[in-house]
Structure 1
Amino acid sequence: MAADVLAPGFWEVGSYKHNVKRFKDGVEQLDDYSKMNRERAEIEAKYSKMLSQHAEKWRAHVDRTVSAGSVKTVWNELIGEAAALSRVHNGLKDHLIEDIMNETTIYRKNSLHTSLLKGPKEIREIEDHFEKAQKPWKKLADKMEDKRTKYYNVCRQEKSALVNLQNSQTDTSVSVDAATKFRERHEKLKEEVQKTKIDYQKTLTNLNEYKNVYMEAMAHVFKMCQEKEMDRSQFMIGIVQKTQRYHAELIRSSQMSGLHQQLEQSIRSSDSEAIKRDLAQWSRVNGVDAPSDWPSFVEYSPEIRNIASRGGSTKDAGGVILTRQINKNEEIPATASNTLPSVAVNTASSHEDVGKSSPKSSSDSDTGTFDSRKHNSTTNKYKTQSQTSSHIQPPPIGWNPSEGPDSPPLSAETPDSAKYGDFEEYTTSKQAIVLYDYAPAEGDEIALRKGEMIEVLTEPDSLGWCTGKANGMVGLFPASYVQCQAEKA
């Protein structure tokens, strides 16, 4: 379930599912409330029967063994209290079945109609309305994203061609014809950059022009959801209040009167205005009042070839180190005789670009070549990063590697898996028990308490960190601090 947790919002494509899920949850609440009252009715029926049997047993005993007089009179009156209490509890059972459960069933039948798909058709209708309102916007948004991707790809190719051109000008072994081809390719890509940029801006303009129509259509469907939720919430508050009155009839002692007064006050305070406030709060998070980061033109920024571990710091990434490139199929080791001087190109980069680049570098994807020194530098980088990253698992207090598999060491490092760590999806959902306490050192981590259960959402990454959910919070934690239930002997 944790893998399917929806991010808050409303205007983004697919975010309307919050409202569909709320409608489904409302249907389940009606069913759960009926189930709860059915169980309470069964308890009251059993208790009423036991009280009745108790009264009959002891009345017969008193009539048989106790002589007539004051003792027998008061004794029978006390036994009569049990019989009367039995009738009270039996009456509560009748109210729960004939009034509460019956009224809930009638409301559900009138408000929700079962379709051929064995589910309320109102849920399917709301989802269809949202999809219909969002379909044109999604089509324009997908087209805009496609144009932006093409624009970014051409920009990367143009940057790569520029580097090749600069290297050819400093390399005396490059022929004049080859240098001319490098120059022609760079000029052609510069023209392609301008063309794709115009296409990207045009689709973005078309998307923004349709925004008002899109907002109006989505707001109309959202209003329908709010009205249905208002009706259901009012019914639930009313039926709870009615149930409470039946319960309050059981006892009126001083011990319980204060509790019921407080409950009555809480129910009275849950009026239509309180429901409206709840609906307004929902709208601010998952409705038409929710903030949204509307699409806008973003200028191309060169990607940073810096592979950062999950949660690692990227503040020191300041530029791109470009070296001579050779064909992948040549497989010639870099030597002093066939390696040209490297050209360092410093590029300004924003924090948002760090760790978000495509798995393929610009030179790999554009020219079919690879950096002759990238592999070794990447390997060394991860060796260093495994010692300095802020997400290296701290050993638990008192842990000794020789103590056995209960506290496994960190997993072996794999640079490729760390390189693509930012693109990992939640593909695992396991229940695990926490073996050691852990206090988070950074904001994206979660606290662990020994003995509690945690839901593991991802397999350990190259540095031995998992993503999990505990106490309603989702974040990173050391994999060696927990043990999945399936792994227990």
Structure 2
Amino acid sequence: MHCTCRAYGHVSLQLSRAVNGVSVSCLTSLYRNSLLLFSPVIHLLLSPRESVGNYKRAVKRFDDGHRLCNDLMGCLQERAKIEKAYGDQLTGWSKRWRQLIEKGPQYGSVERAWLAVMTEADKVSELHQEVKNGLVNEDVEKVKNWQKEAYHKQMIGGFKEAKEADEGFKKAQKPWAKKLKEMEAAKKTYHLACKEEKMAATREANGKTEASVTQDQQKKLHEKTDKCKHDTQKAKEKYEKSLDELSKCTPQYMESMETVFDQCQQHEVKRLTFLKEALLDIKRHLNLTENQSYATVYRELERTILGANTQEDLKWFSNNHGPEMHMNWPAFEEYNPDAASAPIKKKKPDGAPPTPSTDHVAPPGDRSSVSSYEKNQAYSTEWSDDEQPAGNSGNENGGNGNSFEDDSSVGKPQATGVRVRALYDYEGQEQDELTFKAGDELTKTEDEDDQGWCRGRLDTGKEGLYPANYVEPI
């Protein structure tokens, strides 16, 4: 700033020496050139003819800075909602497909590999929930706290920092603005005097060429021209003097304005620095590739998938459901009165439970994509007889039946006391059938039979039959 003032002093000296005998246009040019020697930022504040009040843009940055903090918080909150929604969708997708896969025909190590994809979704969902928590609980709170410390609202509106800057600029500009106003008035007077002088000279010249103009009138026109020249010279001197006075107070004005502007810049430096740091923190929360837990999820997924052994899966299926399985051929059985008096499992006339109604469906989701083949689905052999009494079944009487007649008994534990939830409303048609609503919970006491019925017990203690496809395990 001192160098700038010295530079201006040199131009001011030249300007003062040039006042006498130099045209006003030349003086104005020198004055404008002197302003160009100052800081570009201050020159922006002092653009020609609009210099007074141009500091408003610097003051407005305080209001803009506060609003930008609100914008950043709104931006982060919206992103947090997206992260949460994505995590919830992953969890719902994983739950639905895990149930479908577990009930479907896939088995062995490949089934475990497939289920590992669901596990990946659950873990990634947790990571996205952590992203959401980081954005809301850390980043948004950090911006809110900084905003509260950096901007202080006033009871009358606006911010204390903006008011102080505005008052500082007004105080620094007031003396110079007064001189500027005087200079503009003097310039206007001078220009009007020049116009009058030119018009008087024109009238005098026309009077000399016209015969109708008397000698006395020509004399008056000449006196008018002389008077206009005198007024013009006087207005010129006043204009030059006011311009000189304005130029003398300009260095102090520039210095005062720059001092206030620097204070505004210091506050803006703090805001920009904070914003940069906040964005780096946001990037750290968003960038899951730098999260070790994220990398671990996919290492475990890859290890599980690579661990799938097709030959072992084929061998397991052959041992449990193929020619290598243990055969339990029918054998002669003596009459057992206890077995004959045992409760007979209900057998529906048409052999299959009713189709579930979609009018009342429980929240777990659509089962339309469930594979038609389920792990617990039983297949009858060619020698099985639908009219065979249940009491004569090998499985009922101690295990003399052929294992091929009930695939679900191989490698799968009997479901004793398994809690299930109703997917649909069901109204019992007979006394030995249960009645429940979608969402009710009950206990499955016997697995699904070959006709699609299960035996269960309500929480009230009532036992009975219900369609297997009306419930899902909890």
The TM-score with structure 1 as length reference comes to 0.48
The TM-score with structure 2 as length reference comes to 0.50
